[in-house]
Amino acid sequence: MLLSTKINSFVERLNACSELKDCKIIKAYPYSMKPTNLKSTVIAVSVGEIASENVEIGGEELYGKYKINAYIYSPYKINDFNSIISLVINSQLNAYPSAVSVSEISNSDDLECLFVNCSFTFFDSLDFGGDENE
Amino acid sequence: MQSKKFEITKYLNALGQTVSIKNQNGGEGDILAIVQSFWNGGKSRYAKRLHKIGLTVDDYYSLICSADYNISSLNENDIAEFDNKKFRIVHTETVRVGNEIQYYSATLKRIWEEEDAFIN
């Protein structure tokens, strides 16, 4: 399964959570201006670390762990930040992550919001593309 | 120090551009003010920075208006609008000589709307 497919699946699972319908879910680093005042929580999804190994010597299939990070940004006025973190984690549990870690909640004066990083580790085979006929 | 209220008011009203102020209670009004980019001495401050949720830039402006327009009660929930751009009032100051108000000044920050962003 391609890495982009895994990211898309991750985003789909977040979108499927009805309690997160008020949050904007995006892929990280959009090349557009951030709204000066965030009106709702924004979840930016991106690939974290990847560590994979060949399943067999000379084989083409890689297997290992990869991380997907969900960066949650909330305006200062959102009070229920902790429940959003719980919902994000809960939305991914049916994909059986092998580890979940959540960073400390911080504030960013530059972005004028609170943020936290939820990191999900999965074990799976990885496909980085390429021509099958080669 | 001598009060220059008359001269300041005369020139600010003659040279100022129309700035529309919308306050949080729905009130609206126009003032004449001189507005200029705050960081006009350091262009590098306009370099955009890319974050995980988009680009940001420190686009602050200073606004000076005459004592005819009392803007001292405005706060960050009020919006200034000119040149089809929206600005948030970050800070206001009243400049006095003795007890006489000479002019008002404010610091504005450009507002980028939600609709402009997240097009990916």
Instruction: Kindly report the nearest CA distance between residue A5 and chain B, in angstroms.
Output: 16
Q: Which two tokens stand for residue A127?
A: 């496909």
Instruction: Kindly report the nearest CA distance between residue A83 and chain B, in angstroms.
Output: 21
State residue B119's pLDDT score. Answer: 47
Contact list in A for residue B117 (CB cut-off 8 A) is 30, 32-35
Nearest to B117 among A34, A46, A71 (CB): A34
Considering the entire predicted model, what is its pTM?
Answer: 0.81
Instruction: Kindly report the nearest CA distance between residue A40 and chain B, in angstroms.
Output: 10
Q: CA–CA separation, A17 vs A32, rounded Å?
A: 26
Nearest to A34 among B53, B88, B109 (CB): B53
Q: Which two tokens stand for residue A65?
A: 């762990």
Interchain pair B120, A71: CB under 8 A: no
Please check whether residue A52 touches B, CB under 8 A. Answer: no
Closest to A74 (Cα-Cα) out of A23, A118, A120: A23
Give the range among A18-27, B70-79, B109-118 with minimum mean pLDDT.
B109-118
Q: Does residue A131 surpass a pLDDT of 60?
A: no
- Between A81-92 and A3-16, two packed helices, what is the crossing angle to 10 degrees? 120
pLDDT in tens, B18-66: 999 998 888 888 989 999 887 666 666 778 889 999 888 888 899 999 8
